[in-house]
Structure 1
Amino acid sequence: MEIAAQYSDDRSAPPSTLVIFGASGDLTRRKLIPAVANLARHGRLPKEFALVGVARTPMNDDEFQASILGGNGLGDLQQLAGGGLRYVSGGYDDPETYKSLATLLDELDHQRGTRGNHLFYLSTPPQAFSPIINGLAGAGLNRPRAEEGFARLVIEKPYGSDLASARQLDATVHTAFEEQQVFRIDHYLGKDTVQNVLALRFANSIFQPIWDRSWVDSVQITVAETLGVGTRGSFYETAGAMRDIVQNHVLQVLALALMEPPASFGAEALRNEKVKLLQAIRLPTDRDVADVAVRGQYTRGGTREELMPGYREEPGVDPLSRTETYAALRLDVDNWRWAGVPFYVRTGKRLPARVTEVALQFQRPPHLPIPGNQLTELEADALILRIQPNEGISLRFGAKVPGHSFRVRTASMEFSYDQTFREESPEAYERLILDALLGDATLFIRTDEVEQCWRIVDPIIEHWANDTSPIPTYEAASWGPTDADRLIGRHGRTWRTPN
């Protein structure tokens, strides 16, 4: 897509039909329908637009429309009333489901004017992906049904459970769809603050000269959650922190922060650089996993007033579970820009704060002419990119403390999204659904990116699966197991405590 169109303020979807598989599910209710409603409210959807839900739950068009329009704040979808909200009930492995869907889409193309443009969104459990893809292909819905139309596929994570299963899913996908038709979604990439990493790096000349090993001592990426697994215990038992967060969210943020400048902000140019960066990450061998990777599982903790259960006490969790709810890694990037710089990443549930940030800590001055007793709480210079919450950027540096003596203490300059911009930031799914309707793949994950991410985490997952020693634990509302402190402390560093 042309850059001018990609970043134009008047980006609006073309006439089209959005088909959501899993329309009666939690993700559809909480995220997808509100995102479509926001697009309608902002005038991003044409009158020639339709929304079709597909699920096993028995429901007719009127019941589906009532369930959508009856939701709080979804009145913006009233423009779809009168034939623009439709529903197909049926099994995902039943060919009749797709025959009914094909007939309905033809009807909408002619009556609603959606012009053969169809976006299929797979908001279902992963085991339904292959049956749906095969069903679409069997009904001829994997190809445009009009000369100027399109057929596109959006697939939610998890995209496989390891490299082998990801490749197997890719084989199924590519049997029915061309790669340019496929949009693998990671909602983190739809956040304005994640995209701001690109703006900070490539729209400002002052940062580029210091964005390398000559100036950066180390980098920390933190994705912390205060919540436990809640009702997702049975799902989490098959995933764990490494599959659920590190393989996708963490590595995508890391790639954006460390990649080389792309030739343009076009989809392929940007994704090419991300893949190059991921390819340069050094793979851990089975022998050194213990030196570069730490796992943990939360136990009961908190306060007497708010005592939080341990992971093994959560619904759907094996009482003897060895699934990690915390993971910390040291990664090394073997390229010219980053050779020798350690990258520390950590993620976990039941941590003290909900925060996602990237922190670049810079080298200390080679010589300080200031006596040590005049350096009051002076930390190394750092640039902190706050992705959530309190979205913004902090630049940490040393400054003189007011007074008659010459004392230096750490200070910071702050940029806050909320205080600087009046514009409303779109929700991640809102941006990504619009991009998929426009055919803009910039913020979606290409097939070789998926493979590279699994290539990095697979050796660690396999090592942990074969490790019979007790899994390290940490109390709920703490910053993780002590092994994580030893991991970063081996070279005289410590984890940041996010504000």
Structure 2
Amino acid sequence: MTNEYYSGPFKKPKMKSISELQPTILTIFGGDGDLTRRKLIPALYNLYIDGFLPGKFKILSVDQRDVSQDDYNKRHYEGVNQFSRRGKADKEKWKEFEQYITYVQADITNNKSYNQLKSIFSDIDKEWKVEASRIFYMAVSPNFIEVLANHLNKAGIAGNSEKHRIVVEKPFGHDLESAKNLNKVLQGIFSESQIYRIDHYLGKETVQNLMAFRFANALFEPLWNRNFIQQIQITVSENVGVENRAAYYEQAGAVRDMIQNHILQLICLIGMEPPVDLQANSVRDKKLEVLHAIRHFSEDNVYVNAVRGQYDKGWIEGNKVKAYREEDNINKESLTETFAALRFFIDNWRWQGVPIFVRTGKRLQETTSYITIQFKEVPHKIFPSGVRELVHPNLMVISIQPQMGIRIHFQAKKTGLDMQLKPVDMIFNYSDSYSNDPPDAYETLLNDVMLGDATLFMRSDQIEESWSIIMPILDVWASNPPQKFPNYPSGSWGPPEAEALIAHDGFYWHTFTEPLDINPNAPSLAKKQS
């Protein structure tokens, strides 16, 4: 059986027979945790359904809970039913898939647990008559990463740089110093090629499509520079609160949780130069160039370029919700920011002087993620007075979630005898263009790990440079506690200071409230935020 494997729109097509994929043992530390139930097992189940798992494959779910194999399978079957993009699992297919799963009760801080794993690996290799590839997925709290790495090293079960890989979830460090220390520990045990620092945002179909959009089309790349683009905006908003992540979020905040990783990676994809090829290091080198070119904040200009906020009580979708300080397990006088808006500049020939505004937060009006490219105005307006005042800027809107697509917003003549202009849209919508559902981000990334493709994963120098960019903001904010928290009501678009930040340059935040449907009667989507 042969499949055409295409892992993301900008990757090389690969012809892979299932039998050609390396026999693989995937060990998940934190195998009964929330991430495994919500993301990893549903993703692996979908890969199985689509024929993208090796013929010889085993999942070792390692956790300390005392639970039977049947109970574990039942719990994760319910997780697939609830969280899989396909909806409820096919019972027969699940029965086949669950044969791949073995639950291992073990204490990850105890040497004996790794001797137990070593024995299991040996037995599987003997059964398969081949040395299997080993993937160690660290779906655990960040403070256990170093513990796991040292135990793996001591047990001698992850030392083959060709066949053994580790996957590290974000957050990778709490600040620049801790990120450097963690890199030092991991690189002292594993080769850099073995370390896969995962950022699920990079596995999203629309995010991957940015490179195809930019580098496969002669139409757009010549315009992708300071000569034609006036400003760039990135919005990543959530209408939910901290939910079950209170303990983590209270220590992290919006900048660490979203900007240091997800949003800076989006800036890299928007700003990077064309790589010479699509090999992992070629792409990652170009991303690193962008990070090096991002203007660092000085202590004096942090408050000119950065705004923070914390949500108050309010209304979300008709329901009254709590303030952040009223949430369970949150300090009643917490100074953690749940909103951040920043202005970045990339100091190079392509982007000099083009502001990049980003905003992200919780308990905002909508859950949505999109990138807005605003082009410069035409150099000479030939239309009569009364018409030219109604001309809107040309926009390109790249929607990441909840819908996926790209919209180009431009001017056209309105039907009639007079010269009247009307904003119109050209739309590429994934759901209209493709009949199959796009893979979940974790499906793409897990398959890439199995194939040894590190293109969509963070390298150590990228991680450290990302932290170095945001550390001045975090340091200034830590030494100057906010005086007005909470400062925006739930259900709004954040504090008024975020409006002042972008208004300083003569702009306003673009919000997009209508779906990416091709509707010729739809009004303009570019709306000034009230």
* TM-score normalised per structure 2: 0.89
Does residue 1:481 correspond to 2:489, yes or no?
no
Contact 1:247 1:457 in 2 (8 A): yes
Does residue 1:59 correspond to 2:67, yes or no?
yes
Deviates more, 1:297-306 or 1:136-145: 297-306
SS at match of 1:372: coil
Partner of 2:522: none
Does residue 1:126 correspond to 2:139, yes or no?
no
Ranges in structure 1 where 5+ consecutive residues have no aligned partner: none
Contact 2:233 2:371 in 1 (8 A): yes
Partner of 2:13: 7
Q: Distance in 1 between matches of 2:29 and 2:129?
A: 22
Amino acid at match of 1:370: F
Partner of 2:123: 107
Amino acid at match of 1:127: N
Q: How much has 1:407 moved relative to structure 2?
A: 1.1
Contact 1:163 1:451 in 2 (8 A): yes
Contact 2:45 2:97 in 1 (8 A): no
Does residue 1:494 correspond to 2:508, yes or no?
yes
Contact 1:322 1:471 in 2 (8 A): no
Instruction: Summarize the alignment of residues 253-332 of structure 1 with structure 2, pairs less than 5 Å apart.
Output: 253-302=266-315, 305-332=318-345
Amino acid at match of 1:54: V
Instruction: Summarize the alignment of residues 328-477 of structure 1 with structure 2, pairs less than 5 Å apart.
Output: 328-375=341-388, 377-471=390-484, 473-477=487-491
Q: Distance in 2 between matches of 1:88 and 1:420?
A: 43
Q: Distance in 1 between matches of 2:130 and 2:69?
A: 18
SS at match of 1:252: helix
Partner of 1:23: 31
Contact 1:401 1:408 in 2 (8 A): yes
Which residue of 167, 171, 175 maps to 2:188? 175
Does residue 1:187 correspond to 2:200, yes or no?
yes
Q: Distance in 2 between matches of 1:491 and 1:388?
A: 27
Contact 1:280 1:333 in 2 (8 A): yes
Deviates more, 1:286-295 or 1:170-179: 170-179
Q: How much has 1:106 moved relative to structure 2?
A: 1.0
Amino acid at match of 2:409: R
The superposition leaves residues 19-39 of structure 1 with CA deviations (integer Å, 9 ceiling, x where unpaired) of: 000001000001100111011
Q: Distance in 2 between matches of 1:316 and 1:25?
A: 19
Contact 1:17 1:114 in 2 (8 A): no
Q: Distance in 1 between matches of 2:241 and 2:98?
A: 39
SS at match of 1:373: coil
Q: 1:316 to 1:497 in 2, by over 3 A?
A: same
SS at match of 1:291: helix
Q: Distance in 2 between matches of 1:305 and 1:59?
A: 40
Partner of 2:264: 251
Q: 1:194 to 1:114 in 2, by over 3 A?
A: farther
Which residue of 196, 206, 215 maps to 2:219? 206
The superposition leaves residues 197-247 of structure 1 with CA deviations (integer Å, 9 ceiling, x where unpaired) of: 011000101111100000000100110111111222222110000000000
Q: 1:8 to 1:357 in 2, by over 3 A?
A: same
What is the root-mean-square deviation of aligned Cα atoms in Å?
A: 2.0
Does residue 1:151 correspond to 2:130, yes or no?
no
Contact 1:359 1:383 in 2 (8 A): yes
Amino acid at match of 1:480: G
Q: How much has 1:142 moved relative to structure 2?
A: 1.9
Q: Distance in 1 between matches of 2:174 and 2:379?
A: 46
Give % identity. Answer: 38
Which residue of 253, 256, 262 maps to 1:240? 253
Q: Distance in 1 between matches of 2:56 and 2:129?
A: 5
Which residue of 31, 37, 50 maps to 1:42? 50
Q: Distance in 1 between matches of 2:103 and 2:398?
A: 43
Q: 1:5 to 1:399 in 2, by over 3 A?
A: closer
Does residue 1:98 correspond to 2:110, yes or no?
no
Q: How much has 1:379 moved relative to structure 2?
A: 1.2
Which residue of 86, 95, 105 maps to 1:78? 95
Contact 1:49 1:80 in 2 (8 A): no
Amino acid at match of 1:180: S
Q: How much has 1:398 moved relative to structure 2?
A: 1.0
Deviates more, 1:58-67 or 1:18-27: 58-67
Contact 2:295 2:344 in 1 (8 A): yes
Ranges in structure 2 where 5+ consecutive residues have no aligned partner: 1-5, 82-88, 514-530
Q: Distance in 2 between matches of 1:219 and 1:484?
A: 15
Q: How much has 1:301 moved relative to structure 2?
A: 1.1
Amino acid at match of 2:443: E
Q: 1:303 to 1:155 in 2, by over 3 A?
A: closer
* TM-score normalised per structure 1: 0.95
SS at match of 2:423: strand
Deviates more, 1:395-404 or 1:287-296: 395-404
Contact 2:146 2:182 in 1 (8 A): yes
Partner of 1:141: 157
Q: How much has 1:306 moved relative to structure 2?
A: 1.4
